[in-house]
Amino acid sequence: MFDLDKWQEILTTIKKNKLRTILTGFSVAWGIFMLIILLGSGKGLENGFENQFRGAAKNSLWIWTGRTSIAHNGMNPGRSVRFTNDDYSNLKNNIDRREFISGRFNIFWGNQVTYNNEIHSFGIRNVHPEYEFIEALTITEGRYINQLDIKDKRKVTVISTEVRDVLFKDEASDALGKYILVNGIPFKVVGFFEDESNNSNNMRLIYVPISTAQMVFSGGNRLHEISMTIEANTIEEAQSVEQDIRNRLAAVHNFDAEDRRALGTWNSFENYMQMQSIFKGIRLFVWIIGIGTIVAGIVGVSNIMIIVVKERTREIGIRKALGATPFSVISLVLFESVLITTFAGYIGLVLGVGLLELLSGISTDFFADPSADFGIAISATVLLIFAGALAGFVPAQRAARIKPIEALRDE
């Protein structure tokens, strides 16, 4: 039911009191504006941190070795612990929640990558095929390392698009299948990858099958790192997997399972989950502050409406004497309040979203792409109408209780 007359009545009153309406509306618009900006910034912060995790699976676990720091089974601290291919097989076969797993063998010298006259220094990562998923790589052309490469110790390499462009220059478009020299040994280029991680070094790399690297770069069965992704839903689950790994490796290599110098780990899932709970907290905090600001706006509107009712006592008395029912008086005040809040709030909403839109290009390490999504806009709108009704409720009731005799009494 759309009552044109009622809205005309309300618009007339609003027009008669422009300044009052603008001031009231401003507090509401400001409240919504702040809420949207806060929510958007929260989102931006979250996106920023989310970017930090991009380029590696969010459930990855990285393990490396060092020197023991705790005496164990009668042996002094300070012994070196070293991974071998056996550790890789051990974890691959025995860890229940393992998803993907890869060993890594590092070369600490040379790193010279050559094609014709282009001689450059790039990182050389020697890994298993599943490393592709642990590092969350995107293969743009060709393929990644596969099991046959490992089995046959093929001299193949997967290079980043950046490395390709640097080495091949004009020939970049048909670089696939060409041979490059890695520390003087020819390797066939079988694929190109991209890594979205923020760390630009991750694009200055080439990947080589681990078995090939151990053979040609005289590594024997030595591994430097093992990384894997795990299936875990809670931090506790992730931690229990980590503990399982520690226990197994400690038993094999004869060190204390609690010795964090002997065996280093980094559990991205744990970090990710902690980050998630921090952001849950931030989001809650932002809503509380935002709603607090809006409540201040509502109280403002309510206050003004009470004054309005007081000012209009006589008019309301006249209306009642002429046959206005309590309901029509209530709706007069209530609708005015809802109209002011909704309209002003909408302006705040548009300004807030507009500002976020302007900032949406921004992308730094910890802040990226602030935005308020459609759902937030909807909830804010519902909140506004509700707030307007709430703000008008008490004054409207007051208006309905006005007695015509008292209102019309001649002073």
Partner 1 sequence: MITIQNIHKSYNMGTNSLHVLKGIDLEIEKGELVSIMGSSGSGKSTLLNILGILDNYDKGEYRLDGKLIAGLSETKAALMRNEYIGFVFQSFNLISFKNALENVALPLYYKNISRKKRNKIAMEYLDKVGLLDWAEHMPNELSGGQKQRVAIARSLIANPKVILADEPTGALDTATSYEVMDILKTINHEGITVIIVTHETDISRMTRRVIKLKDGAIEADYIPETIRDYAKVV
Applying CB under 8 A, the residues found at the interface with partner 1 are 4-5, 12-13, 16, 314-315, 317-328, 400, 403-405, 408, 410
Q: CB-wise, 174 or 411, nearer to partner 1?
A: 411
Minimum distance from CB of 26 to partner 1 (Å)?
23
Minimum distance from CB of 288 to partner 1 (Å)?
41
Collapse the DSSP code of 118 into the 3-class scheme (helix H, G, I; strand E, B; otherwise coil) and give the result. Answer: strand
Q: CB-wise, 169 or 403, nearer to partner 1?
A: 403
Strand (E) or helix (H) holding 206: strand 205-209
Beta-carbon contacts of residue 267 (< 8 Å; ≥ 6 apart) = 61, 62, 238, 239, 242
* Among 32, 341, 365, residue whose Cα is nearest residue 200: 365
- Beta carbons within 10 angstroms of residue 115's beta carbon: 21
Minimum distance from CB of 6 to partner 1 (Å)?
9
Minimum distance from CB of 377 to partner 1 (Å)?
35
Minimum distance from CB of 350 to partner 1 (Å)?
30
85-94 vs 235-253: helix axis angle to the nearest 10?
140
Q: CB-wise, 317 or 370, nearer to partner 1?
A: 317
Minimum distance from CB of 326 to partner 1 (Å)?
5
Q: CB-wise, 158 or 316, nearer to partner 1?
A: 316
Q: CB-wise, 159 or 330, nearer to partner 1?
A: 330
Task: Give the long-range contacts of residues 131-134, CB within 8 A, separation 24 or more.
Answer: 131/100, 131/102, 131/104, 131/207, 131/227, 132/193, 133/57, 133/99, 133/100, 133/229, 134/56, 134/57, 134/60, 134/100, 134/101, 134/102, 134/227, 134/228, 134/229
What b/e sequence results for 259-292 when a residue is b if at least 16 CB atoms lie within 10 Å of its CB, and e otherwise? bebbbeeebbbbbbbebeeebeebeeebbeebee
Q: CB-wise, 322 or 361, nearer to partner 1?
A: 322
Minimum distance from CB of 394 to partner 1 (Å)?
18
Minimum distance from CB of 307 to partner 1 (Å)?
17
Beta-carbon contacts of residue 271 (< 8 Å; ≥ 6 apart) = 53
Place of tokens 């590594």: 219
Rounded CA-CA distance 264/239 in Å is 14
* 156-160 and 185-194 strand pairing: parallel
Q: Please answer whether residues 142 and 191 qualify as being in contact, where contact means their C-beta atoms are separated by less than 8 angstroms.
A: yes
The pair of three-digit structure tokens given for residue 249, joined into one six-digit string: 């490796």
Q: CB-wise, 263 or 402, nearer to partner 1?
A: 402
Q: CB-wise, 134 or 309, nearer to partner 1?
A: 309
Minimum distance from CB of 378 to partner 1 (Å)?
34
Rounded CA-CA distance 308/208 in Å is 78
Q: CB-wise, 5 or 170, nearer to partner 1?
A: 5
Minimum distance from CB of 13 to partner 1 (Å)?
7
According to DSSP, residue 220 is labeled: T
Rounded CA-CA distance 231/134 in Å is 12
Q: CB-wise, 263 or 400, nearer to partner 1?
A: 400
Rounded CA-CA distance 341/302 in Å is 10
